[in-house]
Amino acid sequence: MEGLYIKYQHVVNSVSICETENVLCASITKQRLYLFRNGKNVKTYKMSSSRLPQSCKEDSLGTPWGLHEVCERLGTDAPMGTVFEGRKSIGLIVSECSKEKQEKNLITTRILRLRGLQEGINRGQGIDSFDRYIYIHGTNHEDRLGNPSSSGCLQLSNLDVIDLYESISDGTHLWIEQT
Residue-level pLDDT at 5: 95
Residue-level pLDDT at 1: 74
Whole domain around residue 66: which residue ranges?
2-176
Residue 77 has pLDDT above 90, yes or no: yes
100, burial (CB in 10 Å: exposed 0-12, middle 13-18, buried 19+): exposed
- Listed in sequence order, the residues at least 6 apart from 173 whose beta carbon sits closer than 8 Å to its beta carbon are 8, 12, 19, 20, 22, 23, 24, 67, 68, 69, 117
Among 35, 34, 3, which residue's Cα sits nearest to residue 21?
A: 35
Residue 164 has pLDDT above 90, yes or no: yes
Residue-level pLDDT at 119: 95
Domain count, the chain: 1
Confidence of residue 78 (pLDDT cuts 50, 70, 90): very high
Give mean pLDDT, residues 64-72.
98
Residue-level pLDDT at 2: 81
Residue-level pLDDT at 20: 96
State pLDDT tens for residues 110-135: 999 999 999 999 999 999 999 999 99
The CATH number assigned to the domain holding 109 equals: 2.40.440.10
Residue-level pLDDT at 167: 97
The model's pTM is: 0.95
State pLDDT tens for residues 42-53: 999 999 999 999
